[in-house]
Structure formats: C-alpha cells, structure tokens
Structure 1
Amino acid sequence: MSVTSQYKRAWESFWSEAPDDPGAVFWDAEPALTSGLHLALFEPHLMAADLPLVDLGCGNGTQTFFLAERLPRVTGVDLSAAALAHARRRDPLGAVPFREIDAADPGAVRRLHGELGDTHVYMRGVLHQCDPADRQPLIDSIATLVGERGRAFVVEPAEAAGAELSVLARRPAGPPPKLRPVLTHGIATGTVRDAALPQFIRAAGLSVLAQGELPLLTTEYVADGIRIALPSNWLVVGRTG
C-alpha cells in the first residue's frame, strides 16, 4: 500500500511553494533544538554504532545534514521530489545522498534495505502527517529497515498538540503565517492518538526500548514572542532477543 496520489500531490504542492530560507517552514526548527536533543536520547541505544542511518521523511534536509555530521552514512528519504530539490540545493556537491521513496511502499523499502543492510532510522513527525491507511505500513517499513541490528527513534506530536493546533488555526486573525500553508495544502496535523503509536510499533514486530515526552519546537511564534512548542512523545524501538 502506498500513499494516495492526492496526498502525494499535497506534499509536492507544499514543498514547491515553500521558500528555501532556513526556518521558513513551520516544523523546520534548528537542529540544536530538535534532532540534536533527540540524538542525545537515541545514541545510548545504538549498540551497532557502525550502521548507516535513514532520516525517514527528511523534507528539505535540515535535520539530515546535522545527523550526517555526527553519524556514519546518513541517507535522507522522502516521497516528495520538491522537498528533495530543496535539500539538494543546500548540498550542491552531493555529500549527503537523498532518495525519493514512498516509505509506505513495502517493495521500495525492501529494495532500500537490500542496498544498505540493517540501518538505524530517525523519524520526526511523519506518522501524524501521512494518510491514516499508511500509518501501519510506515511503521512496518521502519521494522524492515532496522532489521535485526538497527534501532529507530520515532517522535510524534501528542494528542494534545492537535488540540493546540486547532486553536491556532481558528484564531480570529487566522492561523500563524507558517502554519497557514500546512493547512491550505490539506496536510494533516496532530491526528494520531497517543495510545496508537506503541500499538503500531508492536504490530510491526518491534519493541519499545525507551520512551518519554519532550516539547517539539516549531519555527513560529505567538504574539507575545514565545515560540510555539507542541507536546510530543518519543520512542526508541528495535528488535530484542
């Protein structure tokens, strides 16, 4: 099963119109405040530190480049060609490989695993933005990529984040400027139940090795100058035994 063509078109349209400027996209926060914090939680669980890492749903590559400076053989993967065009413009020498792959397509993911072998996976805020029918296949793909030796760090906005985004979307003045294009392009936000995430993990044959809560920072601010931070749940997952 792969994402609907309508949903893929929404992402292509969004990224085609998104500026190249750092921080112009709602969730494109500085790595020191996002993947940097996540990596500190993830690294203690990387028993096979020599494995490559896949940044799944890498978008314009902001977090991918940060991870590539700290971990071996990082590959960015996204279903949107327009998103990857942003990433490649930032890396004209091609130091970091990027691949256009629908991560809910099991055949495509098996082929990637065949090329890379077992990998670690970093996935930030992708599950809640994909079509509901693709959520279990997406987590199944993580299971394929990590194989027997890899680990995955999965972080998703909590249920409470959906309520906060709904309030922002209904402001009398309209949504914040960086949130508006997310909504107008029909991209879902904050629609995964908290209890569903570990259920998807277990159904894919993986175990939760660690978990916690952490604010997920955005690049947008409210009127009093406070950065919008959404509650999120993070998990480190992999196979045990």
Structure 2
Amino acid sequence: MDVSSRYRESWEGYWRETSDAPGEAIWDCDPSLGSVPHSELLVPHADTSLPVVDLGCGNGTQTRYLATRFARAIGVDLSHAAIEHARRADTTGTAEFEQLNLVDHDAVRALRERTGDTNVYMRAVIHQSEPQDRPAVAAAVAELVGTRGRAFVAELTPASKAVLQGAVESPGGPPEKLRRVFEHGLRPASVTDEEVPDLLRGAGLEILASGDTALPQTEHLPDGTRIDLPARWFVLAGQ
C-alpha cells in the first residue's frame, strides 16, 4: 500500500521549500508548547525504557525533546526532505531519523522488528492524511506499540476549521506560513469529531485517557494573536 503521488509530492515540495530556520513551518512550535506538556500526559502511562517513535516528525523539533524523556527516540516522516531537515538540525545526534511511509504495513512492521514494542508520539497526522489512508495510519500506531508500548496522539478537531477560516479572511489574506500550506495542496482539519477515536479503536487500540487541548502554531493574526488550533488528545495502549 502506498500514498498517492500527489500527496507525497505535496509534502516533498513543502519541505524542499522550507528553510532550516526554527518555526518556519507553521506547526513547528517550541517543545514547551508541544512535546513537553504532551510528555507529561504520556509518561505516567508509559515505560520510558522503551524507545519512542515520533510519527510525522517533520524537522525533528519535538523528536529531539522526546529523546530526553525516553531511552531512545526515532523520528520518521513520509518526506525525504523533512528527514534531511531533521538530521541537519540534530547537530549532537540526540535522536535518529528515517523516512517511513506509515501506510506501508511491511515497512512499519520492519521498523517494529528492529525496535521491539515502542512508545509512539503522533501530533496532527491523521487529519492531514488522505481519507483512504487514515485506517492504515491508525494501524501503524497499533503495530508499533504492540502490547508494552503506549501512544500519545493529538489531532485537530473540526473547530479548527473556523479558526483557519478566520485567518484566511483576515486583513491581507492568509498569513504567509498558512498560505504556504495551502499552496502545496495541504488541507488541515478535515476529520470529524468521532472519526479519530473510531479509527484508533478500530485499529485495536484502547483509549486510556483523552481530553481537549489546542495545538499552538508559529503564525499570528495581524493583531498579533497566535493561531492556536483546537484539538483532542488520546493516550493509547495496544491489546
């Protein structure tokens, strides 16, 4: 199974045209706003002696922090260009990075065979995936956690659409970082409220805890307000 060529090229094009500057990608928030609070939700449920795999790691900002909380951190992304960003940014070799297509079951299984059961961190991947690929993305989480790992998953809710629409309609049009997302054919916040938990349960994952949150972005409205996108988080176990 593979993602569509359009989807793959959208991400390759986006990351090729993104500089190494921290925060240039709209979702590249500081770990203090992402993986730090998320780890506080995951760690009480997790065996931190197991590795953690950051699915959809992008340029690896969150992966590098996760490496300080878990015995080993591996960031994976569909885009080769993203992985190149991540490797350049990780000047001290804190984490490991590799290209991985989450809907390629054989590739996901091969990763788990190398690592054993792992913890998983996944922030805003399902909502950006094409609808036909979302069950495979959820299945990849289940494959990697096995029976001993735990997962933290955060996904945008439909309420994010209104926030994004407001940004698009702001004076001067969409802010630059958001405009770049749309120009590359990426369409955020396209899942329903129940789709994500249904996909996770359908993959055989047990929801241990969940709650509402917001995913801070690195872009602001003309009045200086930071764009924070409504989201829901889940801590999950395999069965």
User: TM-score, structure 1 length as denominator?
Assistant: 0.96
User: Please, which moves more after superposition, 208-217 or 218-227?
Assistant: 218-227
Match of 1:25 in 2: 25
1:87 aligned to 2:86? yes
User: Which one-letter code corresponds to 1:20 in the other structure?
Assistant: D
CA distance in 2 between partners of 1:70 and 1:209 (Å):
20
CA distance in 1 between partners of 2:182 and 2:58 (Å):
17
Match of 2:165 in 1: 166
Match of 1:219 in 2: 218
8 Å contact 1:109–1:141 — kept in the other structure?
Answer: yes
User: Which one-letter code corresponds to 2:149 in the other structure?
Assistant: G
User: Which one-letter code corresponds to 1:23 in the other structure?
Assistant: G
1:11 aligned to 2:25? no
User: TM-score, structure 2 length as denominator?
Assistant: 0.97
8 Å contact 2:171–2:222 — kept in the other structure?
Answer: no
Instruction: Spell out the pairing of 1:112-131 with structure 2 (5 A cutoff).
Output: 112-131=111-130
Q: How many residues align?
A: 239
Deviation (angstroms), 1:93: 5.0
Q: 1:216 to 1:93 in 2, by over 3 A?
A: closer
Deviation (angstroms), 1:111: 0.4
CA distance in 1 between partners of 2:165 and 2:103 (Å):
27
CA distance in 2 between partners of 1:78 and 1:123 (Å):
11
| Structure 1 stretches of at least 4 aligned residues deviating more than 6 Å after TM superposition | none
- The DSSP-based 3-state class of the residue aligned with 2:176 is coil
Deviation (angstroms), 1:104: 1.2
- The DSSP-based 3-state class of the residue aligned with 2:189 is coil
> RMSD of the alignment, in Å?
1.2
- The DSSP-based 3-state class of the residue aligned with 2:2 is coil
Deviation (angstroms), 1:91: 2.1
Deviation (angstroms), 1:134: 0.6
User: Please, which moves more after superposition, 124-133 or 168-177?
Assistant: 168-177
Deviation (angstroms), 1:32: 0.4
- The DSSP-based 3-state class of the residue aligned with 2:87 is helix
CA distance in 2 between partners of 1:31 and 1:94 (Å):
17
Match of 1:176 in 2: 175
Deviation (angstroms), 1:230: 0.9
8 Å contact 1:130–1:188 — kept in the other structure?
Answer: no
CA distance in 2 between partners of 1:158 and 1:238 (Å):
22
- The DSSP-based 3-state class of the residue aligned with 1:54 is strand
Deviation (angstroms), 1:72: 1.1
Deviation (angstroms), 1:50: 1.3
Segments of 5+ residues of structure 2 without an aligned counterpart are: none
User: Which one-letter code corresponds to 1:110 in the other structure?
Assistant: R
CA distance in 2 between partners of 1:92 and 1:44 (Å):
30
- The DSSP-based 3-state class of the residue aligned with 2:76 is strand
- The DSSP-based 3-state class of the residue aligned with 1:29 is coil
8 Å contact 2:170–2:222 — kept in the other structure?
Answer: no
Q: What are the superposed Cα offsets for residues 109-129 of structure 1, whole Å, 9 maximum, x if unpaired?
A: 000011001000000011111
8 Å contact 2:158–2:193 — kept in the other structure?
Answer: yes
- The DSSP-based 3-state class of the residue aligned with 1:235 is strand
CA distance in 1 between partners of 2:140 and 2:158 (Å):
23
1:189 aligned to 2:188? yes
CA distance in 1 between partners of 2:147 and 2:26 (Å):
35
Deviation (angstroms), 1:5: 1.2
Q: What are the superposed Cα offsets for residues 6-41 of structure 1, whole Å, 9 maximum, x if unpaired?
A: 100000000000111111110101000111111111
Deviation (angstroms), 1:225: 1.4
